[in-house]
A and B are shown apart, each in its own frame.
Chain A
Amino acid sequence: EAQVTQNPRYLITVTGKKLTVTCSQNMNHEYMSWYRQDPGLGLRQIYYSMNVEVTDKGDVPEGYKVSRKEKRNFPLILESPSPNQTSLYFCASASQGDQPQHFGDGTRLSIL
């Protein structure tokens, strides 16, 4: 089944403790992206990647890092999480830059 898989689905952690949210897609898609969704603010793009070893900032990249060492994986890294990064996070992928993005089911992060 074609899908975008995020792990973990839920995480409660403390300020400053590094964490990584993994994202994997099995569709051989070139494009991958991370979004955060907050009440009243909708979905906002954090980082995206057009292909392996190519990453770019989205609208809200501060406090986040990403890497794209292989096509299927696009992990989101919070080196020193803070409470304002408490949010619902979505990973998405698309076959190319101008095709519809397919989303994972989300990761709920709570930073205390």
Chain B
Amino acid sequence: GESVGLHLPTLSVQEGDNSIINCAYSNSASDYFIWYKQESGKGPQFIIDIRSNMDKRQGQRVTVLLNKTVKHLSLQIAATQPGDSAVYFCAESPWEYGNKLVFGAGTILRVKS
């Protein structure tokens, strides 16, 4: 597969455990946040998004938490599965810049069976 990053932080979890991936964003004007999953050889795949008027949003097995006070975003994955192994990126978007996405460096999630 193709490497998408050097020296990215890595989170290793046991299959079935919950995973929490954290992200600090930089722009206090950002009002839209997205989590993407990228598997080797593929483009980023949308997981879940949240707008700044919310603190929490849930999807299927995933939850995103937003703390605007400390500019922190987290992605929680319940009952992590081997297929969840990938690089996860958070992205922020200040609407004033027309859907410009600013991506974080990414976190590698490794699921051990």
Contacts and interface: CB of A to CB of B under 8 A. Distances in A.
Interface in A24-82: 31, 33, 37, 39-40, 42-45, 48, 50, 56, 58
Contacts of A108: 2
Given A48-B98, A50-B98, A42 B104 contact: yes
Interface of A is mostly: strand
B32 A98 contact: yes
Contacts, number: 71
Interface string A82-98: 00000010101010111
A86 B112 CA distance: 34
B13 to A, nearest CB: 23
Interface of A: 4, 31, 33, 37, 39-40, 42-45, 48, 50, 56, 58, 88, 90, 92, 94, 96-106, 108
